[in-house]
Amino acid sequence: MRLKDKVALVTGAGGPMGMSVAKRFAEQGASLIMTDISGSRLAQGVEEIEPLLAKGAKVFAQRGSVLVESEVDELLAGSREHFDRVDIIVNVVGGLWLDAKYTPVIDVQEERWDMCFTVNMKGIFHLTRKLAPAMLEKKYGKIVNVSSIEYAGAAGHADYGAAKAGVTSLTRSLAEELAPHVNVNCIAPGIIRTLALKDVGQAVADEFAEKNLLKRMGEPEDIANAALFLASEESSYITGVTIPVSGGLWPGL
Ligand SMILES: NC(=O)c1ccc[n+]([C@@H]2O[C@H](COP(=O)([O-])OP(=O)(O)OC[C@H]3O[C@@H](n4cnc5c(N)ncnc54)[C@H](O)[C@@H]3O)[C@@H](O)[C@H]2O)c1
C-alpha cells in the first residue's frame, strides 16, 4: 500500500474530483480528513469511503468552507480529536466563479474578480499556514494543489487563468520555503467530468475531447491517480512542479 498509515486531508471531498482522490487514497491505506461546503455530498462521500478503508485507518469529515479561517480552525480542531498529524493535503477546492461563459476582462465585475482569487487561493493559504509548521517539525509532508491548464492564459476566463497561475506560483514558492522535507506540487487538469461540467456545457467538453491528443474527456480518476503519485514516496524527488493532466493539451492559449 502506497499510503499506509498516512493521514490525508482532502478539500472539496464531496465532489467527484475530491471524492475520487479520497477513494484512491483510502484504497492505498490512508486515513482521511474530508471537508466540503456541501454537507449532503460529504455524508454520501463518507459512506462510500468507509468500506474502502484499510484496517486501522479512519475517516473524519466536517462540513465547512476552506475559504473562511474560523471554519478551517474548526475543521482542524475536530481532526485533532482523531489524528495527531496531517501528512498530506490535497487542495481541490477552486473553480470558475459565477459562470463559465466567455467573459472578456472588460466585462468582468469587481466582485467576480475578487471572488475568483479567493475561491482558488484562500483555502491553500489557510491550510498551508496552519499545517505546514507541524510538517516542518516532523520533517514530512506532501502538499498537492489543483490548478488548471488555463493557468497559462485563458481569454474569456482571464480571472480564473490568473487565479490558477497564482496557484502554480504559490506551489513553486512553497516548494522552496518548505524544502527539503515537504514536497509541494500541483496538478493542472484539462476538462474533467465533475459537477463543473454543467457550467462548462457538453458542447465545450466535446470540443475539448476532440482537441486533445487522447480524444476523450478527463475523468476524476485521472486526477486521483496523479494526486496519488504526488502524495506517495514514488515522487519523493519531485517538488515545485505543475503536471498537466489534460490528454496531452499543453497549457497556453
Ligand atoms: N472540472 C474541470 O474540468 C476542471 C478543470 C480544470 C481545473 N479544475 C479544478 O479542479 C478543482 C475541482 O473543481 P470541480 O468543480 O470540477 O470539482 P468537483 O465538481 O469535484 O467539486 C468541487 C467540490 O468542492 C466543494 N466546495 C466548493 N467550495 C468550497 C469551499 N469553499 N470549501 C469547501 N468545499 C467547497 C463543492 O461543494 C464540491 O463538492 C478546482 O480547483 C477546479 O478549478 C477543474
d(CA 92, CA 97): 15
Mean pLDDT over 37-44 rounds to 98
Question: Residue 253: its pLDDT value, please?
Answer: 76
Q: How far is the CA of 137 from the centre of ligand 1 (A)?
A: 30
DSSP 218: B
Instruction: Place 22 in a pLDDT band, splitting at 50, 70 and 90.
Output: very high
**Could you tell me if 218 and 39 are in contact, meaning their C-beta atoms sit under 8 angstroms apart?**
no
Pocket of ligand 1, beta carbon within 6 A:
11-12, 14-18, 35-38, 41, 65-67, 92-95, 146, 148, 189, 191-192, 194-196
Identify the CA nearest to 197 among candidates 210, 185, 188, 206: 206
Average pLDDT, the chain: 96
Tens digits of residue pLDDT in 170-217: 999 999 999 999 999 999 999 999 999 888 888 888 999 999 999 999
User: Is pLDDT at 45 greater than 90 in this prediction?
Assistant: yes
**What angle in degrees, to the nearest 10, is found between the helix axes of 110-138 and 69-80?**
30
Higher pLDDT, 206 or 33: 33
Annotated domain spans of the chain: 7-192+220-245
Tens digits of residue pLDDT in 147-168: 999 999 999 999 999 999 999 9
Alpha helices in the chain (DSSP H): 16-27, 39-49, 69-80, 110-138, 158-178, 197-200, 202-211, 220-231
The C-alpha cell that represents 205 in the structure block: 467538453
**Could you tell me if 62 and 36 are in contact, meaning their C-beta atoms sit under 8 angstroms apart?**
no
DSSP track, 154-200:
-TT-HHHHHHHHHHHHHHHHHHHHHTTTEEEEEEEE-SBSSTTHHHH
Q: How far is the CA of 42 from the centre of ligand 1 (A)?
A: 13
Cα→Cα distances 134→86, 94, 141, Å: 8, 25, 9
Nearest CA to ligand 1 atom 7: 148
Protein fold of 7-192+220-245 = Rossmann fold (3.40.50)
Question: Residue 202: its pLDDT value, please?
Answer: 87
Minimum-distance ligand 1 atom for the alpha carbon of 164: 43
Identify the CA nearest to 227 among candidates 89, 53, 37, 49: 89
Question: Residue 220: its pLDDT value, please?
Answer: 98
Question: Residue 59: its pLDDT value, please?
Answer: 98
CA dihedral angle for residue 184, residue 187, residue 188, residue 190, rounded to 10 degrees: -170
What b/e readout covers 22-39, taking b as 16+ CB neighbours within 10 angstroms?
bbbbbbbbbbbbbbbbee
Is 160 a known active-site residue? yes
Question: Residue 197: its pLDDT value, please?
Answer: 87
Active-site residue identified among 102, 140, 151, 160? 160
Nearest CA to ligand 1 atom 25: 12
Q: How far is the CA of 150 from the centre of ligand 1 (A)?
A: 15
Mean pLDDT over 55-73 rounds to 98
Question: Residue 198: its pLDDT value, please?
Answer: 84
Q: What's this model's pTM, rounded to 2 decimal places?
A: 0.98
Q: How far is the CA of 58 from the centre of ligand 1 (A)?
A: 24
| DSSP β-ladder status, 59-63 and 31-36 | parallel
Mean pLDDT over 225-236 rounds to 98
